[in-house]
Amino acid sequence: MTTTHDTRRKPISRGGSPVVPSKGPRRGARVGEVRWDAGSFWGSRIRINAQATFDHCIAWMDRLGWLENFDRVARGETTTDRPGWQFSDSEIYKLVEGIVWELARRPDPLLEHRYESLVARIAAAQDEDGYLCTAFGHPGLPERYTDMSMGHELYNMGHLLQAGVARLRTAGDDALTEVVLRAADHICREFADGARETLCGHPEIEVALAELGRATGEARYVEQARLFVARRGYGTLPVRPLLAADYFQDDVPVREAAALRGHAVRALYLSAGAADVAVETEDAELLDTLQRQWVRTVERRTYITGGMGSRHQDEGFGDDWELPPDRAYCETCAGVASVMFAWRLYLATGQARHIDLIERTLYNVVATAQAPDGRAFFYANPLQQREAPEDAVSEHVNMRAEGGVRAPWFDVSCCPTNVARTLASLETYASAVKGDVVSLLLYGAGDISIEVTGATLGLRVDTAYPHDGAIRVTVTEAPASAVTVRLRIPQWAADAAGAGPGEARHTVGPGWWDVRRTFVRGDRITLDLPLQPRFSWPDPRVDAMRGTVAVERGPLVLCVEGVDVPGDDRLERLLVDTGTAPDSYADGAVVRALVLDEPAVPEGRVPFSASLAPSAQGGEHRLVPLIPYHRWASRQPSAMRVFLPTVSTPLGAPDAG
Amino acid sequence: MTTTHDTRRKPISRGGSPVVPSKGPRRGARVGEVRWDAGSFWGSRIRINAQATFDHCIAWMDRLGWLENFDRVARGETTTDRPGWQFSDSEIYKLVEGIVWELARRPDPLLEHRYESLVARIAAAQDEDGYLCTAFGHPGLPERYTDMSMGHELYNMGHLLQAGVARLRTAGDDALTEVVLRAADHICREFADGARETLCGHPEIEVALAELGRATGEARYVEQARLFVARRGYGTLPVRPLLAADYFQDDVPVREAAALRGHAVRALYLSAGAADVAVETEDAELLDTLQRQWVRTVERRTYITGGMGSRHQDEGFGDDWELPPDRAYCETCAGVASVMFAWRLYLATGQARHIDLIERTLYNVVATAQAPDGRAFFYANPLQQREAPEDAVSEHVNMRAEGGVRAPWFDVSCCPTNVARTLASLETYASAVKGDVVSLLLYGAGDISIEVTGATLGLRVDTAYPHDGAIRVTVTEAPASAVTVRLRIPQWAADAAGAGPGEARHTVGPGWWDVRRTFVRGDRITLDLPLQPRFSWPDPRVDAMRGTVAVERGPLVLCVEGVDVPGDDRLERLLVDTGTAPDSYADGAVVRALVLDEPAVPEGRVPFSASLAPSAQGGEHRLVPLIPYHRWASRQPSAMRVFLPTVSTPLGAPDAG
């Protein structure tokens, strides 16, 4: 294909995965190197994603006119009544990205046709100079770049670039490449130093330009990403009523911040882009700063689910230790963005803790968001729902990103397409290669055929993880020379045991467990991760969780649903007896609990919520089942709790002594 | 004065107070019937309000162009770049209302001139047909009534009516009356059944029209208020992106709701207006419903401070028991609105609990909002601040209504003028008359000279309440026949004692204590309210307060400030020993506490906030002082807590048994 733009394009390398650093020794798996079984935990979700979610998203975007926005621009028929938010273009791009990953996993002529048709409609809406946005810069719409704080133009084009990079890396140069390079060149011209020295209110272009630079070998794209990162934090963006500079991370320069703050998705996309820039420019100081910010954020501003962003207000991070279970916002997109950031830190540093967080987030945020049929989603992922919502699943657009019921679509509908592109590319996060070391990062039944030291290592993984902790790895193809198979032992797996080929079973991890040898076909590595349910205690500084405990089982956070504890408000009166360890029960657990009688609080006090000390209350001892949090609200709308008050909690009664 | 509008106006009665029901036996004090000493708790705040706050507000509204908006309309020079939100007119009206009450308390030629000048500018902006709003309906601005959900036109005019009613009731007919009646007549024409059958997204016109009907004797104003209340709850208002119908209370009709919900100020203004309608139309069923909603809301959705509206999102009520101390929004205006609603229920029913809530709200929300110099305000009133804010008091407009520092003005600046009008009229809430019963509702040093059974009862009240519990009431003027002096004994005053003239001291209350006789000058009633600090335990269903206790002293909620517990984060590690009762200390208290050493939580866990059980921690026993919550952040920006973890809290440690 011949291009007409001004880029001296270099040969395209097919990296095959979302993040392909040009510097550093480590790479993630390429699409196809890890193939999970269709019946496995993630394999089934990826299948549903391909079979149902893509069509579902396209149907909604068609119905709402978001797709036709591109045709209107192409036809020159834009008007002031454009449907959709200013960032609706990005939903199409994220969906295209998901389709591209899926096509690389499993060619499908019908899906390929869908892809080409979407790209044709997108391409037709591109301006002569490369600008592409259906919400600005055309008749009836505001002028280009007149609202850098909230306009989302570069955010939209960033997602376009990410879709194009995915295609370049899996299928090579095509019509989308042309669109993407023209858009990127436009941005580099318009936002160079000396031109518009500003930035986009919603980070995303940084990570996109960095990856496009990697995919094309064009350093100027990385340089533009570096410029955008470096410009941030100096109050350049116009502050809007009720939106302060920290909302946009424009309050403190990236390399001076102590923790992530403001709008969570913005903060995490920015951090991911900054990590890419740090790696490509070999800026160790910036990378260290980002590591420190990550540690502090995970320590003090992250839920047990991996959910980030506790505040509904601003969809933002709260203060340290501000982690209310009930009003936990934990936007699904923030979970996706957290995986993006942690994955880049892992590739740069090789630390197991980044994958630990990725696993926690995938099982407890991403898996929670997707309904079993792939046609409804959670946007917010609270850890407590006091009352069963009245509504069943709605057939309408959900105006609010909350409510305890998965919704088919949202007014701001960033999450469904973000889940779609994440699931379609998820297998590339399951393994990584550095030199002659192949790391197994995420466990699932399936086949691995991965390039290492110029040869191929084939592995068959048999496991029912996370429902069962037994993992059996059989070598199906072996390189001639010695390689290391490095297995991740999660932080919670204090009693994991394993055996390499011919070895006696021994304790391993947590962290990494290396099995090195010249493998032969049929060699077997066994790993047993302990999945006994366990109590997890909140940090004492988390005020909103004081006197409660959570139950986890392997990587799964568990919860109690009201539907399993009949009675109109009994989740409010359930106290866990932590003197007895939780037992396994199906894929969840069962705990001993005291279900209190109606609280014996004096009537008529004003305000009731600050009463005198209640007298001792009677109650009923019973066993209470917990299910994986990711399945909550799957049977029916229900009250739900992750953090459960414990019997030892004084419940407001005065101390004995 | 001759009026030209179409009202057949009846003679004006000077009611002298904000709420004057035409039905029902009870009336509140008129301006001048209660006069608090300038050195008393409220007297000093009323003085500061008059001496500093009025000028302060006018200066800001001048500087920001909100006042000039009226001149622009008058000059026909409106343009699209109008400064201020669509509701900025209402700030001028609330300030005028405050000035009117103050002028009635204490005539002042300079303030009178200010009043006349403001009224002249307002009057000049009124359209021929009575419409008055500077944000709609003029060149460059949107058309009238094109945004009923968020346009606030009737809200603005509602506050205009309230200012006019205040003037009518304290000084009689003047230029403002003319403006107000023309506006009210315009609204009755435009929003009659058969005309625009809709309502305003922000209630306020209901309470205003009802009161104007009472003040003028014109039943059609009350009828229009009734129509607005009756129309609400049927989804008439266009839903806006991210704003659902419950935000506007347009989801459920007033008489079918179970509790207050949605935007707190909207819900409370609506309830106040509905209570007025219920009283005027003798609708006992509606009044009962409102009572039940009030009880449920106070029981389950109200903070110990009286603060209402726990959510920053939507400035709204949360679910039952959703009362986080840290993210408590508790908007100051919601406190004012709660006083409005409770006062109407008291006048209708005579129950002490409504005044108990009013007292709680005044001392802990309204008094908290006002800075000692009357030139800075809190908008949000959280019950916990984790870190001392970095900023000292800003000289700039505060874009966000939060932050732990009182601000001189806000982008949305509803609270300063609402505090101003409340303080200026506050003495009218201190006493009430029904038949031959004079109720003393709020205690403060001062003089009462109140009309009862056609005569005058004069009382001198000597007290340092709430700093001291001794209240001495001396009769200074006595009616010839027997009357009852009814004293409110607050709910918390379980051991109050008192004595009527010549009586032995005996236990009284809580509730009402009646002293009936034919008083003579010099008669003395003594009342001693116990002000020993006390622990107050949160209801066990308030998850966010589990394992904590608050300390109250009389009507004052107390708090610990970080500045009194040196160490960078020691408020996070402070545990109260509730085995020892709190002691009085200055006007606050002192408690025994254990200040823990740095938490012994293992390092490096991911996420840290769900750690394994921490080992036992050492700490230092010490005495910790508490100050009245209303004084927090007065010395310097500081961390602060109202609800304090107790030593008996396991702090996440496993149960012993």
CB contact under 8 A, B242 and A412: yes
Q: Which helix (H) or strand (E) holds B470?
A: strand B470-477
The CATH class, in words, for A431-528 is: mainly beta
**Is A379's Cβ below 8 Å from some Cβ in B?**
no
B 148-167 near A (Cβ less than 8 A): none
How big is the CA angle at B625 (ends B620 and B628), to the nearest 5 degrees? 150
**Is B235's Cβ below 8 Å from some Cβ in A?**
no
pLDDT digit string (tens) for B314-356? 999 999 999 999 999 999 999 999 999 999 999 999 999 999 9
Whole-number pLDDT of residue B602: 53
- Tracing tokens 């955010």 back to the chain, one arrives at A155
pLDDT classification of A404: cutoffs 50, 70, 90: confident
Question: Which residues from chain A sit within 8 angstroms of residue B601, using beta carbons?
Answer: 539-540
The single-letter DSSP state of residue A128 is: T
Query: What gap in Å lies between CA B638 and CA B625, rounded to an integer?
Result: 14
Q: Which helix (H) or strand (E) holds A585?
A: strand A583-585
CB contact under 8 A, B537 and A611: yes
> Mean pLDDT across the stretch A460-474?
97
Task: Chain B: give the shortest CA distance to residue A262, in Å.
Answer: 13
Token pair in block for residue A596: 């209190």
Task: Chain A: give the shortest CA distance to residue B287, in Å.
Answer: 18
pLDDT digit string (tens) for B418-429? 999 999 999 999
Give the total residue count for chain B.
657
Angle between helix axes A175-190 and A153-170 (nearest 10 degrees) is 140
Give, in order, the Cα–Cα distances in Å from A103 to each of A50, A157, A425, B185, B333. 9, 22, 10, 68, 56
pLDDT classification of A648: cutoffs 50, 70, 90: low
- Tracing tokens 């709701």 back to the chain, one arrives at B257
pLDDT digit string (tens) for B626-641? 999 999 999 888 999 9
pLDDT digit string (tens) for B31-56? 999 999 999 999 999 999 999 999 99
Q: Is A37 left (phi over 0), alpha (psi -120 to 50) or beta?
A: beta
- Whether residue B569 has pLDDT greater than 70: no
Whole-number pLDDT of residue B570: 72
Query: What gap in Å lies between CA B135 and CA B68, rounded to an integer?
Result: 12
Q: Torsion angle, CA of B483/B486/B487/B488, rounded to 10 degrees? A: -160
Whole-number pLDDT of residue A652: 36
pLDDT digit string (tens) for A106-132? 999 999 999 999 999 999 999 999 999
For residue B100, the SS3 value is helix
For the four alpha carbons of B311, B314, B316 and B322, in that order, the dihedral sign comes to negative
Nearest CA in chain A to B292: A604
Per the prediction, chain A carries an average pLDDT of 92
**Is A410's Cβ below 8 Å from some Cβ in B?**
no
- Whether residue B651 has pLDDT greater than 50: no
Whole-number pLDDT of residue B605: 57
Query: What gap in Å lies between CA A270 and CA A276, rounded to an integer?
Result: 10
Domains of chain B by residue range: 64-231, 245-429, 431-528, 540-645
Q: Torsion angle, CA of A67/A68/A71/A76, rounded to 10 degrees? A: -130
Query: What gap in Å lies between CA B288 and CA A214, rounded to an integer?
Result: 70
pLDDT digit string (tens) for B504-553? 999 998 999 999 999 999 999 999 999 999 999 998 889 999 999 999 99
Other beta carbons within 10 Å of B274: 32
pLDDT digit string (tens) for A180-214? 999 999 999 999 999 999 999 999 999 999 999 99
| Nearest residue to B293 via CA among B285, B283, B304, B282 | B285
Token pair in block for residue A124: 């037709």
Other beta carbons within 10 Å of A597: 10
| Nearest residue to B414 via CA among B275, B269, B290 | B269
Question: Which residues from chain B sit within 8 angstroms of residue A357, using beta carbons?
Answer: 606-607
> Which of the residues A338, A551, A606 would you substitute to probe the B interface, choosing the one with the greatest number of B C-beta atoms within 10 Å?
A606
Pick from A85, A353, A605: CB nearest B491: A605
Query: What gap in Å lies between CA A93 and CA A48, rounded to an integer?
Result: 20
**Comparing A47-61, A511-525, A561-575, B214-228, which segment has the lowest mean pLDDT?**
A561-575
Pick from B356, B411, B612: CB nearest A242: B411
Query: What gap in Å lies between CA B371 and CA A563, rounded to an integer?
Result: 49
Whole-number pLDDT of residue A148: 97
pLDDT digit string (tens) for B361-380? 999 999 999 999 999 999 99
Task: Chain B: give the shortest CA distance to residue A480, in Å.
Answer: 38
**Is B532's Cβ below 8 Å from some Cβ in A?**
no
What is the 3 state secondary structure string of A2-35?
A: CCCCCCCCCCCCCCCCCCCCCCCCEEECCECCEE
**Is B567's Cβ below 8 Å from some Cβ in A?**
no
Query: What gap in Å lies between CA A451 and CA A434, rounded to an integer?
Result: 11
Residue percentage of chain B with pLDDT more than 90 = 83
> Which of the residues A150, A402, A655 would you substitute to probe the B interface, choosing the one with the greatest number of B C-beta atoms within 10 Å?
A655
pLDDT classification of A332: cutoffs 50, 70, 90: very high
Pick from A323, A651, A652: CB nearest B609: A323
For residue B384, the SS3 value is strand
| Nearest residue to A181 via CA among A135, A133, A218 | A218
Task: Chain B: give the shortest CA distance to residue A412, in Å.
Answer: 9
Nearest CA in chain B to A652: B537
Nearest CA in chain A to B539: A609
ipTM of model: 0.87
- Whether residue B274 has pLDDT greater than 90: yes
> Mean pLDDT across the stretch A65-86?
96
**Is B654's Cβ below 8 Å from some Cβ in A?**
yes
CB contact under 8 A, A386 and B606: no
Q: Which helix (H) or strand (E) holds A200?
A: none
Pick from B239, B552, B649: CB nearest A650: B649
**Is B384's Cβ below 8 Å from some Cβ in A?**
yes
Question: Which residues from chain A sit within 8 angstroms of residue B571, using beta carbons?
Answer: none
pLDDT digit string (tens) for A153-174? 999 999 999 999 999 999 999 9
Whole-number pLDDT of residue A11: 39
- Whether residue A614 has pLDDT greater than 50: no
Task: Chain A: give the shortest CA distance to residue B116, in Å.
Answer: 33
- Whether residue A393 has pLDDT greater than 80: no
Task: Chain B: give the shortest CA distance to residue A95, in Å.
Answer: 23
Contact between B176 and B163 under an 8 Å Cβ cutoff? The reply is yes
Whole-number pLDDT of residue A468: 96
Cite the beta strand spans of B354-413 per DSSP E. 384-385
For residue B77, the SS3 value is coil
Query: What gap in Å lies between CA A590 and CA A154, rounded to an integer?
Result: 49
pLDDT digit string (tens) for B113-149? 999 999 999 999 999 999 999 999 999 999 999 999 9
> Mean pLDDT across the stretch A401-407?
79
CB contact under 8 A, A614 and B540: yes
Q: How many angstroms separate the most distant Cα atoms in chain A?
A: 84
Pick from A239, A356, A539: CB nearest B399: A239
Give the A:B interface size as CB pairs under 8 Å: 261
- Whether residue B1 has pLDDT greater than 50: no
- Which spans in B106-174 are helix H? 109-124, 153-170
Contact between A465 and A471 under an 8 Å Cβ cutoff? The reply is yes
Q: What share of chain A is helix, strand, coil (3-state, %, to 5)?
A: 35, 20, 45
Contact between A421 and A343 under an 8 Å Cβ cutoff? The reply is no
CB contact under 8 A, B655 and A645: no
> Cis peptide leading into B142, omega within 30 of 0?
no
Phi and psi for B163 in degrees, rounded to 5?
-65, -40
The distance of Cα A434 from the centroid of its chain, to the nearest Å, equals: 24
pLDDT digit string (tens) for A540-581? 889 999 989 999 999 999 999 999 987 766 788 899 999 999
Please report, in angstroms and rounded to a whole number, the separation of the first and last CA atoms in chain B: 82
pLDDT classification of B617: cutoffs 50, 70, 90: low
Whole-number pLDDT of residue A656: 30
Token pair in block for residue B53: 């706050």
A 416-445 near B (Cβ less than 8 A): none
Please report, in angstroms and rounded to a whole number, the separation of the first and last CA atoms in chain A: 83
**Comparing B435-449, B508-522, B572-586, B636-650, which segment has the lowest mean pLDDT?**
B636-650
- Whether residue A2 has pLDDT greater than 70: no
Nearest CA in chain A to B384: A543
The distance of Cα A533 from the centroid of its chain, to the nearest Å, equals: 25
pLDDT classification of B648: cutoffs 50, 70, 90: low
